[in-house]
Amino acid sequence: MKRSLKIISILIGFGLVSFALAVIVPALQTGLPGKPKVAKINIEGVIRSSGSNGLFSSGINSEKVLNKLEKAQEDKEVGAILLRINSPGGGAVASKEIAEKVKLIEKPVLARIVSQGTSGAYWIASAADKIMADPLSLVGSIGVTSSYLEFSGLFEKYGIEYVRLTSGKYKDIGSQYRNLTEREREILMSKIMKVDEVFKEEVKDNRGLNESQIKEINSSKFYLGIEAKGIDLVDVTGARDETEEMLKETLNVSEIKYKEYEESYSLFDLLFSTFKMDGFKAISRIPKFY
């Protein structure tokens, strides 16, 4: 072979190998195709609606969970989703929208309750195909609570007066500067009961609970994982190893590989998240599932 032809052949060969590496390397990094992975999504801390937390604040932002669920749904590498739950619950809307999204996922979804999966967090878990909970974890507390600090007595003591200027008589309902009237209490309670009704109905449908089980959860009490299994609030009790076994069975693989989606924070989140912490949001009229 002529020398120049040989040189060109070698250079083309290197170019082709480079191209092949560009195709192979991503596959090698993420595992070979054909072996589905498990998308692990953490639901840790108080569940909040979008925009209510950032890098330095605690809790979980529902918007970010929704984005991760969408990514996992579209991700061809992902064969199943694991929701790792360790949360006391949170906002009604935030919990509901995550639970609704979980129900729309076409891949198997397993919820693993680590040490706490109560209230809104349980609502989310109930939407999964299977719930696994640690035998000593806290599960349930299916109900709604709304509370706030009321300062009218303190104001009175220091001679501070609350000047009330409203266009409608219930406009400042739930204001922490004055006592609730009986009628206002009734109105707020009716809202709480309405949310409670929707919540319990959803859990009942998601878990296929019978009347006696519904009666049991109506008290909104919490259960240990092992007790929750007895009333079908969870499917299996166990910890990490049992979860992996269940996932292996679901995906028919011998080894579980996880995939996690990183959270992205904007500069705005970075700068202002510290001002949005719990202390600044102690007073709220939005029903919560704590």
Partner 1 sequence: MVDRELRISIGELDKRASLWDRSLAYVLDVFIMLLVIFLPFHYSFKLINNRTPFFETLWLTPLIIFYFAITEKEFGSSLGKMILNLKIKSLKGELKPWQALLRNLTKFSPVLLLIDTINCFLNKDNQRFSEVWAGTKVIKE
Residues with active-site annotation: 119, 171
In the complex, least distance from residue 13 CB atom to partner 1, rounded to whole angstroms: 9
Residue 109: strand pairing partners: 81
With a CB cutoff of 8 Å and minimum separation 6, the contacts of 237 are: 132, 133, 134, 135, 225, 226, 229
82: β partners = 40, 110
Q: d(Cα 124, Cα 94) in Å, to the nearest integer?
A: 10
Q: Is 9 left (phi over 0), alpha (psi -120 to 50) or beta?
A: alpha
Choose one: 15-23, 106-114, 132-140, 266-274; the region binding partner 1 (CB under 8 A): 15-23
Q: Is 2 in the site for partner 1 (CB under 8 A)?
A: no
**Segment near partner 1 (CB under 8 A), from 5-13, 87-95, 168-176, 253-261?**
5-13
- Is residue 6 at the binding interface for partner 1, with CB under 8 A as the rule? yes
For residues 174 and 286, what is the distance between their CA atoms, to the nearest angstrom? 10
Identify the residue among 7, 104, 136, 271 touching partner 1 (CB under 8 A): 7
Q: State the binding string over 24-43 for partner 1 (x if CB under 8 A, else -).
A: -xx--x--------------
User: Which of 2, 5, 23, 159: binder of partner 1 (CB under 8 A)?
Assistant: 23
Distance CA 222, CA 133 (A): 13
CA distance 120 to 29: 36
> Which range touches partner 1 (CB under 8 A), out of 12-20, 38-46, 156-164, 189-197?
12-20
Q: Does 264 bind partner 1 (CB under 8 A)?
A: no
| Residues contributing to the site for partner 1 (CB under 8 A) | 3, 6-7, 10-12, 14-15, 17-19, 21-23, 25-26, 29
